[in-house]
Structure 1
Amino acid sequence: MVTSNGAAGGAGSTSGATIQLDGLTKRYPGTANPAVDNVSMEIKAGETVILVGPSGCGKSTTLKMINRLIEPSSGRIRINDEDVTDMDPVKLRRQIGYAIQSSGLFPHMTVGENIALVPKMVGWSKSKVKDRVEEMLDLVGLDPREFHGRYPRQLSGGQQQRVGVARALAADPPVLLMDEPFGAVDPITRDHLQDELIRLQHELHKTIVFVTHDFDEAIKLGDRIAILRERSHIAQFDTPEAILTNPADDFVSGFVGAGAALKRLNLTRVRDVEIAEFPTVTVEDPLQSIFNKLNSGPHNELLMLDRKNRPYKWLRRGDLSRAKGSLANAGQLVHDTVTRDATLHDALEAVLTDSGGRVAVTGRRGEYIGVVDMETLMTSVQEMLEADRLTAFEHQHELAEQRRERTGQEPQGGADA
């Protein structure tokens, strides 16, 4: 039985489990080389580990051996120090969440039925299953009253992926395996789904193993990243910061690519910078009230919120002068927002595509929280680059000291320098 290690998690939830892969190997008949060759890796409880590498390197095969969708040819799998290599694979998979690209939802089942599937299989009571379905929908930001009875075909791609994650988490497993789960959605939806996963992990503290071919996604999501060569040989297994600042070899450097300093924008979240207040009005406010607020404040624009307190339109003074008694056609619709779990890279992209030089920050249901502007982002970038320069200088100084120790040389300027 795979159990929790008792680490802190959400209220009443099972937290993460340690995972150990010992010499894991997969050979297919008729092939000269193994698809996965002697992989050993230790993953901490509650950690998000990303497997990233070129196409065909064996990262998905490695992932699928953890829940034995693919049976290993040799090696051992331990979860919380329990050897599960010879455990009944069906029983094992019911205790490990699994989310894939395009959600994998059963089209003939409603959203509620899809989420309830594994809890029913493991013997939960009807009332407990019903409560869990509602809890899971709420957790991934979907209104249970609106989505419970829908079918997958009635959902957008992003909504389907959210339901797929809810289904993977429904039986409260300590481990969640994710195989390129956001690869089939558009870039904006993908950013929001990544942010949602980060928020969920802050609440749940599961052990997540996540496969992607996108290094920027790996940086954004991972506590640690395993960069894999062919046959899943580990080129480097380290934190995103360590890989960006000190790649192990040319293969890793090539995978990181150019602009490592800018990629570090994926390591800092919007919640880590100042989220400013901004004057707001609602769609139900009288036109004269909106006009008075705009004229009396320091800003030359307002943010209009809809009836659910979500960003709707940016209104400028000129828009109001042309309104002629109605705001229906006035202002600029809000196209981009970011959450507090979005990265500074996401925020900077949104700001650069908006002529106003700012982006609205929203909560889990899209409700307005505040704004982040270009000045705040540029200050953060400058601080980050300065910290990188200082780290590089300290590293060079440390290397110089090590060389002097090896050669017996004194520092320049004499022994007292």
Structure 2
Amino acid sequence: MPETTDQPATNGQPATPPASGAGIRLENLTKTYPGNPTPAVEDVSMEIKAGETVIFVGPSGCGKSTTLKMINRLIEPTSGRIRIGDEDVTDMDPVKLRRKVGYAIQASGLFPHMTVAQNIALVPKMLGWSKSRTKNRVEEMLDLVGLDPGEFHDRYPRQLSGGQQQRVGVARALAADPPVLLMDEPFGAVDPITRDHLQDELIRLQHELHKTICFVTHDFDEAIKLGDRIAVLRERSHIAQFDTPEAILTNPADDFVSGFVGAGAALKRLNLTRVRDVGVVDFPTAGIAEPLESIFDRLRSGAHNELLLLDRNRRPYKWLRRSDLARARETLARAGTLVTDTVTRDATLRDALEAVLTDNAGRVAVTGRRGEYIGVVDMETLMNNVHELLEADRLEAVEHQHELQEQRARLTQREQEGLDEGGGSRA
């Protein structure tokens, strides 16, 4: 993991390309606290591929956060080795190690006396980056997590919503361009809607950055949505199953894993498909600054009974129906229905389905990084995909049943052949 150094810029861009992920290998990692004979983490070995998002999920107290914190040695292992890339980091200076590993926690962990910019610039400054490079990096990071640098640069954490604080926390963790990002229940302290959007943001970031992410959660639905692979952990971080979300949903290793999967495995698979993978369609829109008569003409003559009114930043603002025309003769202020929920292209089909059902209108607006309108996804598209998933599960169950029947038939045949051979020898 080479330390990032100042490089001259070419055409306004850094000469050094962004660091991609590095593989992580845990070898017989154990943590025993003084005075406690039972290890908190015992003999954990795991290999995480470069650029992979791996989720640690398990019951409270199973050691998942302890295992995560041993990777950057916030908790020192009692025994075992940690390798990041080609480097054994078990014995290196832990402070230097932490500067090369991004770390994001629940409730963001921002320093309240520092501005947003100062929080994000913290590690680059420690690494000796120049003022100009650090300033550019802060603006780049804010843009990356969907926050306007001009608006948020000089704010303090107390002036941000919970979701904005978490975005800044992720920006700070990524500021020095580390190959590895550790995340300890980072979205656990925000409301469900904000949490969904933050999860979508992390998926989008990972598509762009290809970091190696280790993420701790107790929420199996979150694990399915975010993970390339999921490590289901028992007590002392013993690995019950380490596999892809789809493999765990369709073939849990034992009853313990089945308990985490819970009921409705087929519907949980909606977390494996993204809105970008299904049909996002265009929909009639109008800008809030357009003349009223122009908006009315579009409503009257259009094939749809409604249109989506966009604000000055092209963000979804209101659904405006033909029945609203009488109340909108002079102003749109009292007409239409405010858009209460949107989804991004990285949202799951489950997120989209929940948004559509909540809205009761059979569609939900799809937005980009800064909330700008992209299109809509409708109930028909979502239900078609649900039916395809359920049909695939039904066919898989039938195939599995046929395999079991064939296995039983082969076993019966072998038993019969054994009886026949035994009978022949007695004769």
- For the aligned pair, the TM-score class normalised by the smaller chain equals over 0.9
Give, as a single letter, the amino acid of the residue that structure 1 aligns with 2:289. Answer: E
SS state of the match for residue 308, structure 2?
A: strand
Q: Whole-Å Cα distance in 1 between the matches of residues 409 and 203 of structure 2?
A: 45
- Structure 1 position 45 matched with structure 2 position 58: no
Q: CA RMSD in A?
A: 1.6
Question: Is the Cα contact below 8 Å between 1:152 and 1:160 reproduced in 2?
Answer: yes
The 3 A distance-change label for structure 1 pair 280 and 230 is same
SS state of the match for residue 109, structure 1?
A: coil
Give the drift of 1:407.
Answer: 5.8
Give the drift of 1:406.
Answer: 5.6
Question: Is the Cα contact below 8 Å between 1:269 and 1:343 reproduced in 2?
Answer: yes
Match of 1:340 among 337, 345, 353: 345
Question: Is the Cα contact below 8 Å between 1:3 and 1:17 reproduced in 2?
Answer: no
Match of residue 110 from structure 1? 115
Match of residue 225 from structure 1? 230
Match of 2:368 among 359, 363, 367: 363
SS state of the match for residue 360, structure 2?
A: coil
Alignment of 1:178-193 (within 5 A): 178-193=183-198
Match of residue 174 from structure 2? 169
Q: Whole-Å Cα distance in 2 between the matches of residues 291 and 322 of structure 1?
A: 12
Question: Is the Cα contact below 8 Å between 2:327 and 2:334 reproduced in 1?
Answer: no
* Structure 2, unaligned runs of 5 or more: 5-15, 416-427
SS state of the match for residue 133, structure 2?
A: helix
Question: Is the Cα contact below 8 Å between 2:204 and 2:346 reproduced in 1?
Answer: yes
Give the drift of 1:405.
Answer: 5.3
Match of 1:131 among 127, 136, 139: 136
Question: Is the Cα contact below 8 Å between 1:2 and 1:82 reproduced in 2?
Answer: no
Give the drift of 1:409.
Answer: 5.2
Match of residue 77 from structure 1? 82
Give the drift of 1:397.
Answer: 3.3
Match of residue 7 from structure 1? none
Q: Whole-Å Cα distance in 2 between the matches of residues 215 and 284 of structure 1?
A: 44
Calculate the TM-score normalised by the size of structure 1: 0.94
User: What per-residue deviation string (whole Å, max 9, x for no partner) do you get for residues 360-411 of structure 1?
Assistant: 000000000000111000000001111122223333334444555566559x
Give the drift of 1:291.
Answer: 1.0
The 3 A distance-change label for structure 1 pair 2 and 83 is farther
Give, as a single letter, the amino acid of the residue that structure 1 aligns with 2:150. Answer: R
Question: Is the Cα contact below 8 Å between 1:22 and 1:76 reproduced in 2?
Answer: yes
Q: Whole-Å Cα distance in 1 between the matches of residues 253 and 408 of structure 2?
A: 20
Q: Whole-Å Cα distance in 2 between the matches of residues 121 and 13 of structure 1?
A: 19
Match of residue 274 from structure 1? 279
User: What per-residue deviation string (whole Å, max 9, x for no partner) do you get for residues 96-137 of structure 1?
Assistant: 000000000011111111101101111111111111111000
Match of residue 153 from structure 2? 148
User: What per-residue deviation string (whole Å, max 9, x for no partner) do you get for residues 148-205 of structure 1?
Assistant: 1111111111000000000000000000000000000000000000000000000000
Match of residue 324 from structure 2? 319
SS state of the match for residue 91, structure 1?
A: helix
SS state of the match for residue 328, structure 2?
A: coil
Q: Percent identity?
A: 82
Give the drift of 1:3.
Answer: 7.5
Match of 2:127 among 122, 126, 129: 122
Question: Is the Cα contact below 8 Å between 1:2 and 1:80 reproduced in 2?
Answer: no
* Structure 1, unaligned runs of 5 or more: 5-10, 411-417
Match of 1:300 among 298, 301, 305: 305
- Structure 1 position 22 matched with structure 2 position 38: no
Question: Is the Cα contact below 8 Å between 2:102 and 2:178 reproduced in 1?
Answer: yes
Task: Indicate the structure (1 or 2) with the bigger Cα radius of gyration.
Answer: 2
Give the drift of 1:29.
Answer: 1.1
Question: Is the Cα contact below 8 Å between 2:54 and 2:215 reproduced in 1?
Answer: yes
